Amino acid sequence: MEFTAEMIAGLLGGDIVGDKSAKVHTVSSIEEGKAGSMAYLVNPKYEPYLYTTGASIVLVDRSFSPRQEVRATLIRVDDAGACLLRLLEMYNAAKPQKTGISDRASISSGAVVGEACYVGDFAVIEAGARIGDRCQIYPQVYIGDNVTIGDGTKIYPGVKIYEGCRIGSRCILHAGAVIGADGFGFAPNADGGFDKIPQLGNVIIEDDVEIGANTCIDRAKTDSTIIRHGVKLDNLIQVGHNVQIGENTVSSAQMGIAGSSKVGRNCFLAGQVGIADHIVIGDRVKIGSQSGIDKNIPDDEVRMGTPALPGLKFHRSNAVFRNLPELQQRVNALEKALKQLMEQQ
- Distance CA(297)–CA(311), nearest Å, equals 12
Kindly list the distances between the CA atom of residue 217 and the CA atoms of 160, 168, 173, 177, 226, in Å, as whole numbers in the listed order: 11, 15, 11, 8, 9
- Distance CA(127)–CA(122), nearest Å, equals 16
- Distance CA(255)–CA(22), nearest Å, equals 44
Give 224's contacts (C-beta < 8 A, 6+ positions apart): 201, 202, 203, 204, 242
Candidates 166, 132, 172; CA nearest to 146 is 166
Helix or strand (DSSP H, E) at 232 = strand 232-233
Active site residue 174: no
Q: For 37-165, list the strands marked E by DSSP.
A: 37-40, 57-61, 73-77, 100-101, 106-107, 112-113, 118-119, 124-125, 130-131, 136-137, 142-143, 148-149, 154-155, 160-161
Helices (H), 137-224: none
DSSP string, 236-254: S-EE-TT-EE-TT-EE-TT
Strand partners, 37: 26
Which one is catalytic: 25, 229, 241, 278? 241
Exposure on the CB side of residue 193, measured as CA atoms within 13 A: 4
Q: Do 75 and 60 meet the contact criterion of CB atoms below 8 Å apart?
A: yes
Q: Pairing relation of β-strands 186-188 and 224-227?
A: unpaired
Which residue numbers are catalytic?
A: 241
